[in-house]
Amino acid sequence: MTRQELENRTKQFHLNVIKLCTMLPKHISFNEVARQLIRSAGSVAANYRASKRAKSKADFIYKIEVVLEEADESHYWLTIVKDAHISTDALVDELIKESNELTAIFAATSKTSKTKRNNPGNTNQKSTNQKSEIL
């Protein structure tokens, strides 16, 4: 998946969350859940977009960690919507699945980025070992 595709995917996640929240019943407690959910989903998209402008590897990792945290928070709020039976729409299940996938993607991105930062000369251990075996 390209960076642009992932940026589009996070934006679509935010838009789908907004769509879901407009369908929720109007009640003060549901409004609070919707507000938190929209905020965290929007933060996934906005902070991922901001990661493109990172000033350093450390700044990129920081921004990705924020995206990861917000994706996980979005998952939490979506499970509240489902478990409290606020909505039984199939979109809730789709968004829970998407938040899990985004969380996994950004956890892997964070891990890879940290590994590359900590081992700048050895970013492809398997490839290096294979070359030495051939020689």
Distance CA 100, CA 95 (A): 8
Residue tagged 């965290």 (tokens): 40
Question: Which CATH number goes with the domain that contains 39?
Answer: 1.20.1440.60
Range of the structural domain that residue 23 is part of: 3-117
Q: What is the pLDDT of residue 124?
A: 55
Q: What is the pTM of this model?
A: 0.85
Q: How many domains does the chain have?
A: 1
Identify whether 12 is part of a domain: yes
Rounded mean pLDDT, 30-45: 96
Neighbours of 84 (CB within 10 A): 11
> Given a cut of 80, is residue 122 above it in pLDDT?
no
Identify whether 11 is part of a domain: yes
The amino acid that residue 31 corresponds to is: N
Distance CA 87, CA 5 (A): 29
Identify whether 110 is part of a domain: yes
Angle at 70 between CA 64 and CA 72, to 5 degrees: 105
Quick one: tokens of 89?
């729409």
Q: Which of 75-79, 94-98, 125-129, 130-134 shows the lowest mean pLDDT across its residues?
A: 130-134
